[in-house]
Amino acid sequence: MAEYLTYPFKTMGISQDHNGSYSHTKYSEGKPSDYPVDETGADRGSDWMYASVDLKVMKIYGRGIPEKPNTVWLQTTKKVITPIGFHFVCGRVTHMSDGDLKGLKVGHVFRAKSKMFREGTDGNVTGRHLHMTWGTGKFKDSGWIKNNRGAFVLTTTGSNRKLEKLFFMDPNFTTRIRMSQGLKFKKKPTVRTMYVKKRRVKTKVRASYSVSSKVVGRLKSGTKVKVYVTYGNWCCVGDGRWIHKKYLRNIKEI
Ligand SMILES: [Zn+2]
């Protein structure tokens, strides 16, 4: 069973979103772009970032070199459920201390629900935080590329995305929102059982949440499906499988 990707801090303390004029516009408005946030947690001491699903360490940069900010690239070990469906997800996280990276090796898998590292100031930044940026797909090339504004943006086999498109909020884990910069995260859904409505024709299953996306299957009336997440008017019923909500209901029609 695929797992839901949820926000990795117990207290959300986003001090700067991707549009943050302090230092992030060179990432989000450059070519290519990514969508980083700075996370400061509860801001009492150093707060932990957790692995909400199994995350594999793909690259470590800057460890032990004061002027190079410590950076770790992480990738999910399998597809996970995001607000935009089933995807591999890859990201990079920066500014944790050398101490938190001691002994960490590329290939290590942080198991779901475990602590990974804390916010820090490595790389000469003011104020403890973690800068993180995420995208769909897998780790690609060196993990980053310098854009036309001089910022090093994430490279993946998919596309860089805003955090709200990749992470759900689990209110049982993230129990406090201290600062969000107005970012709205969808609540982690529960899987619902639904049925394909009675029709004269089979109902199309599409690869994505759009009528222009490829038809990947057709289901008979009454077929039972599991809805993992909805996006607009579309229900995700599996990896790369979406059905328009008007063709589904929660009771089987005979
Ligand atoms: Zn930042």
- Do 196 and 136 share a domain, yes or no? no
Whether 20 and 133 share a structural domain: yes
Mean pLDDT value across residues 78-104: 97
* 202-228: pLDDT as tens digits: 999 999 999 999 999 999 999 999 999
DSSP code for 165: G
Element (H, E) at 28: helix 25-28
Domain boundary (146, 179, 212) is at 179
Total domains in the fold of the chain: 2
Report yes or no on 172 lying in a domain: yes
Residues 168 and 215 in one domain: no
Longest CA pairwise span in the chain (Å): 68
Cα–Cα distance, 195 to 248 (Å, whole number): 6
More confident residue, 21 or 240: 240
Distance 222 CA to ligand 1 centre (A): 49
Residues 6+ apart with CB under 8 A from 212: none
In a domain, 185, yes or no: no
* Ligand 1 midpoint to CA 239 (Å): 32
Domain-located, residue 139? yes
Query: Using CA atoms, how far apart are residues 228 and 157, in angstroms rounded to an integer?
Result: 24
42-76: pLDDT as tens digits: 988 899 999 999 999 999 999 999 889 999 999 99
Residue type, 120: G
What is the 103 CA–ligand 1 centroid distance (Å)?
25
What residues make up the domain containing 124? 11-179
* 8 A C-beta contact, residue 84 and residue 33: no
Judged against a pLDDT cut of 80, whether residue 192 lies above it is answered with yes
pLDDT at residue 154, as a whole number: 98
Centre of ligand 1 from the C-alpha of residue 126, in Å: 11
- What pLDDT score was predicted for residue 43? 84
How many angstroms separate the alpha carbon of residue 170 from the centre of ligand 1?
24
* 111-133 pLDDT per residue, tens: 999 999 999 999 978 899 999 99
Q: Which residue type is seen at 232?
A: G
Number of neighbours of residue 201 by Cβ within 10 angstroms: 8
Q: Measured in whole angstroms, how far is the alpha carbon of residue 248 from the centre of its chain?
A: 27
Q: Using 50, 70 and 90 to split pLDDT, how confident is the model at 1?
A: confident
